[in-house]
Amino acid sequence: MEAVIDKFGRILLPKKIRKTMGIKPGAVLTIQEDPQGVHLKVVEEKVPLFEKKGVLVFSGVPMGEFLTILDEVRNQRNKKVFNPS
């Protein structure tokens, strides 16, 4: 399979490769060069919210309003756990 580099240095990955590899617009690729040529590798996007044993888990860094809401929810939960009515 061949691709042509345009005058701006861009290359269009064929649709078949994009579909097979799951490469969507906005995907980030690393570019490595070696004596045999150039290698492109899709940078795996780490999803900050995932399900684990039926519970949604956030693995990112809470910021802004989300952090305020998170603190409020934690405080309410702790009141119920440590001061049951």
Tokens representing 1?
A: 């399979």
Residue 35: predicted pLDDT = 94
4 vs 46: which has the higher pLDDT: 4
CA nearest 15: which of 24, 27, 6?
24
Residue 6 has pLDDT above 80, yes or no: yes
Residue percentage of the chain with pLDDT more than 90: 41
Q: Which residues contact 27 (CB under 8 A, 6 or more apart)?
A: 42, 43, 45
Q: pTM for the whole thing? A: 0.47
Q: Which CATH class is domain 1-44?
A: mainly beta
pLDDT class for 50, splitting at 50, 70, 90?
Answer: confident
What residue has token string 């061949």?
Answer: 2
